[in-house]
Amino acid sequence: MRPPRILVRPPKRLGAAALALALTAGGVGVVAFLAVPAGAATTNLLTNSGFESGDLTGWSCDAGTGSVVSSPVHSGAHALAGAATSSDDAQCTQTVSVLPNTSYTLSGYVEGAYVYLGITGGTSNWTPSATSWQQLSTTFTTAANQTSVQVFVHGWYAQGAYYADDLALNGPGGTGSPSPSASATGGSPSPSPSASPSHSPSTSPSPSASPTGSVTPPGGGPFTHPVYFMPVDNNPASISSIISGSGETEFNLAFVLDSGGCTPAWDGNSAMPVSSDTTVAADINAIRAAGGDAAVSFGGYNGTELGSTCGSTSALANAYQQVITKYKLDRVDFDYENTALDSNTGVRFGAIKILEADNPNLKVSLTIPMTTVGFPGSGTDEIRQAIANGARLDVINIMDFDTGLTSGTEVSQTEAIADDAVGQLEGIYGWSAAQAWAHLGFQLMNGHTDQPSELFTQSDFSTLLGFAQANHPAWFSFWSVNRDFQCPAGVVEPWAPGTCSNITQSPYDFTKTIVKYAG
């Protein structure tokens, strides 16, 4: 919950920059062709890449989970079969020598539910459901001192068998000696290459073999009406009750902060580090099982945002990456407020650029508090710093509340602020109005807000839904589903409590309006 704040209303500042912002292409099976050093031979570096030896020669698989089969196959006479169980994702790996500062393409054909192909500590690709052979492909560039990579393929917990065939790591061969793979009979996976990039996450993108706290694979579907939800604070309802009561399956989970020493934790609570979390992991499991997906929001008004303490871009990127890896996130939200707003921005957006390079399918939103005339100067400063650092902002989410109602109606002022923000984005990026709307997140607050002059009723939300449907922002959202209840009778509440709206309503009145938005 954000406490009251008063924002200065600066004059509108329109930039002259005309830099285009390109969205990352999502999905699977994207084939890219990369340049290699002149004169270097491009070849498939994987041993037994089609499993035509009839065994697991060259590959190290989790014990008892990998085998070679004669059907189904994509080509030839054999393919890999992985037996994912409730306690093992059936990962197989191979470590190979590569050249530094060199581009490579990893590809292969897979069948099964939630099959992943990638580089340990780096890029990966996946498919939620391949009922026949489907090609996965991903590209990457090695670091300046990198001489080996570990390729992995795995399924997902309790999803049953998967199959893989005709795997290829294409690029020039390295001159170093890769770490030896385990024998074909299985055993522990080979260790991650020691010469990985300095900004790579310390944990592998593949999940732990333990089912405890494991997370359902990312949903990858539409994300047009993600409501904000605090899963461990403000008296959270169960995810199952929210889904059944409102129909909502898209969530921005708030907030991950620093609990000390650049350690990601829920609400910055040292007793709730992300590394050992099972509570939020269970919520994300339930959301994805219902066909939805979740993003994690870093920051908020209270506590210490990781970018204030992690020091360097690589350290901050590693802290953020721990959360992405833990929950298999396709989406993250950065809500820099209070002392973090327009502070240490070079480090923050430098870290985000690293995340985007290491997670090609990642969608990034930046959430910014507003004034009655659009973005404050601190907000436009952040956007320009993102551009300067080469960090892509897929969604620029405006907190279209807490500005105080100065004239007219709540609806008219809210719409005017959004229109002002669109005009500012046009000036900064050189976009058309339609492009600016397509990158705008439109976030409200239900009931009484932190400003005594503001009140959003159910009818206001319905009217603003029509405004959103006419302009097509990237998403239509609100803070927060924790508050989407009438306050208990006879209980003295603060002006804008975190657990109820302080108006007369039925449970999930506001969420039921938000879910009607389809983009």
**331: exposed, middle or buried (Cβ count in 10 Å: 0-12, 13-18, 19+):** buried
Q: Residue 172's closest CA among 278, 23, 44, 11?
A: 44
Q: In CATH terms, are 28-219 and 227-514 the same topology? A: no
Helix, strand or coil, per DSSP, at residue 300: strand
What pLDDT sits at residue 38?
47
Q: Residue 63's closest CA among 77, 82, 48?
A: 82
Determine whether 493 is an active site residue.
no
**237: exposed, middle or buried (Cβ count in 10 Å: 0-12, 13-18, 19+):** middle
Amino acid at 416: A
Calpha distance 476→183 (Å, rounded) = 52
Q: Residue 124's closest CA among 159, 99, 89, 176?
A: 89
What pLDDT sits at residue 219?
61
Q: Out of 337, 382, 415, 454, pick the active-site residue.
A: 337
DSSP letter at 427? H
**The total number of residues written for the chain in this structure:** 519
The CATH code for residues 227-514 is: 3.20.20.80
Calpha distance 367→53 (Å, rounded) = 53
Neighbours of 117 (CB within 10 A): 25
Choices 2.60.120.260, 3.10.20.90, 2.40.50.140, 2.140.10.10: CATH for 28-219: 2.60.120.260
The token duo for 376 is: 């404050």
Calpha distance 504→458 (Å, rounded) = 10
What pLDDT sits at residue 32?
34
What pLDDT sits at residue 114?
85
pTM for the model stands at: 0.68
Q: What is the pLDDT along the chain (519 residues), one digit of tens a residue?
A: 443 333 333 333 233 333 333 333 333 333 333 344 444 567 899 999 999 999 999 999 999 999 999 999 999 999 999 998 877 889 999 999 999 999 999 999 999 988 989 888 777 888 878 899 999 999 999 888 889 999 999 988 778 899 999 999 999 987 654 443 333 333 333 333 333 333 333 333 333 333 335 676 776 568 999 999 999 999 999 999 999 999 999 999 999 999 999 999 999 999 999 999 999 999 999 999 999 999 999 999 999 999 999 999 999 999 999 999 999 999 999 999 999 999 999 999 999 999 999 998 899 999 999 999 999 999 999 999 999 999 999 999 999 999 999 989 999 999 999 999 999 999 999 999 999 999 999 999 999 999 999 999 999 999 999 999 999 999 999 999 999 999 999 998 888 999 999 999 999 999 999 999 998
Calpha distance 306→323 (Å, rounded) = 12
The token duo for 455 is: 């009140």
Q: List, in order, residues 6 or more apart from 75 with CB less than 8 Å away.
A: 50, 165, 166
What pLDDT sits at residue 201?
32
Q: Where are the domains of the chain?
A: 28-219, 227-514
Q: Residue 127's closest CA among 153, 106, 150?
A: 153
What pLDDT sits at residue 120?
82
